[in-house]
């Protein structure tokens, strides 16, 4: 039954995506916020589909730690679900994504029109400078920035590998960083069709205020996210096994 419901959700995901992507093309000539609103709607529909077709719901803890206005959200990344969630989890976020994704027909057009931030991870220091420039534009527009500090999905229990992008934004933009732990990989595994019914927990942790040196910030960020993520993964294991 889980396999069948997972397959049905994939059909739902691609059907909704195709309809909205093609039907929303006129939005590309309208103001940016129109495209952002469409992405928000797409994400809400996907979260609804995940809950009602596969039984994958979610819970947000620590929502009071997420401020209004500009901040740097640094979230653990275990699943495609995370990328769906953050278009809803923050207000009009500028999400940092791989530059290769901007080359994907239609998807890339919407991402760029919505003011997402692209990073070319193979360009070294120039990529960081461009990342910061785009981040400054987002902050000037009053938007939060959302980044996955490891740069890609990591399976639950794997060793963390934090990249320099989050530290560059934190040190250059002078805004608080909001660490986020989650356990989405326990229910929505990467590179797998199966969706395990259950409740994904997204835990928004207390802010790291601006002013730390790069090394101290990175240490504090990892020390905030990793133990909380481990705790949430263990919590999920208990519930799945019960």
Tens of pLDDT, residues 217-227: 999 999 999 99
Is pLDDT of 83 > 80?
yes
Q: With contact defined as beta carbons under 8 Å apart, do 60 and 163 qualify? A: no
What local confidence, expressed as pLDDT, does residue 17 receive?
96
Is pLDDT of 160 > 70?
yes
Question: What's the average model confidence in pLDDT over 18-23?
Answer: 96
Pull the structure tokens for residue 156: 């639950």
Tens of pLDDT, residues 22-49: 999 999 999 999 999 999 999 999 999 9
Is pLDDT of 177 > 60?
yes
CA dist., res. 150 & res. 86, Å (int): 16
pTM listed for this prediction: 0.94
The average confidence (pLDDT) of the chain is 94
Q: DSSP letter at 208?
A: B
What local confidence, expressed as pLDDT, does residue 192 receive?
79
Fold (CATH) for 2-241: Glycerol-3-phosphate (1)-acyltransferase (3.40.1130)
Q: DSSP letter at 31?
A: -
CA dist., res. 16 & res. 49, Å (int): 10
């Amino acid at each position: 039954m889980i396999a069948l419901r997972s397959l049905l959700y994939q059909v739902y995901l691609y059907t909704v995506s195709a309809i909205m992507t093609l039907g929303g093309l006129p939005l590309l000539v309208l103001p940016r916020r129109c495209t952002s609103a469409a992405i928000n709607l797409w994400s809400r529909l996907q979260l609804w589909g995940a809950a009602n077709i596969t039984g994958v719901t979610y819970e947000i803890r620590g929502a009071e730690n997420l401020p209004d206005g500009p901040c740097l959200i640094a979230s653990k990344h275990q699943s495609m679900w995370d990328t769906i969630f953050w278009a809803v989890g923050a207000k009009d976020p500028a999400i940092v994504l791989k530059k290769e994704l901007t080359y994907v027909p239609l998807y890339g057009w919407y991402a760029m029109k919505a003011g997402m931030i692209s990073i070319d991870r193979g360009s070294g220091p120039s990529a960081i400078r461009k990342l910061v420039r785009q981040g400054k534009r987002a902050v000037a527009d009053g938007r939060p920035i959302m980044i996955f500090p490891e740069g890609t999905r990591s399976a639950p229990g794997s060793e963390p590998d934090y990249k320099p992008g989050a530290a560059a934004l934190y040190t250059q933009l002078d805004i608080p960083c909001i660490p986020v732990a989650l356990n989405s990989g326990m229910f929505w595994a990467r590179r797998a069709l199966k969706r395990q019914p259950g409740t994904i927990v997204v835990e928004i942790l207390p802010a790291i205020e601006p002013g730390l040196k790069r090394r101290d910030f990175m240490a504090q960020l990892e020390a905030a996210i990793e133990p909380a993520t481990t705790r949430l993964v263990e919590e999920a294991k208990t519930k799945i096994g019960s």
